[in-house]
Amino acid sequence: MIDKDLEKYYDGYREMFITSGWKQLQEDLTQNASIIDSVQACKDNEDLYFRKGQLAIISNLVNLEDQIKAAEEQANEAEEPE
């Protein structure tokens, strides 16, 4: 079993992921990503790179739940005796 602090860390995320607010945020971010993803509206290279940064942040948030689950599984596997 992983240590208590790490367990508490993952518990906090699990609690957040089941809230309606988290689900709403995911929907909003997904909708925003589809709007930002259009290069037709870019004015110049600076705007293109700005949009690229926005999409990277949105991607991290949209995939956060899967990232946390994978990290928790790895932590649990590392603690299992061989």
- pLDDT tens digit sequence for 31-44: 999 889 888 888 99
60 three-state secondary structure: helix
- Greatest mean pLDDT range, 44-48, 63-67, 71-75: 63-67
Higher pLDDT, 57 or 82: 57
Domain residue spans in the chain? Answer: 4-77
Q: How confident is the model at residue 1 (pLDDT cuts 50, 70, 90)?
A: low
Both structure tokens of 3: 């240590």
End-to-end CA distance of the chain: 13
pLDDT recorded at residue 40? 83
Kindly give the interhelix angle for 64-79 and 45-62, rounded to the nearest 10 degrees: 50
Cβ pair 73, 6 in contact under 8 A = no
- pLDDT at residue number 17: 97
Is the model's pLDDT at 81 over the cut of 80? no
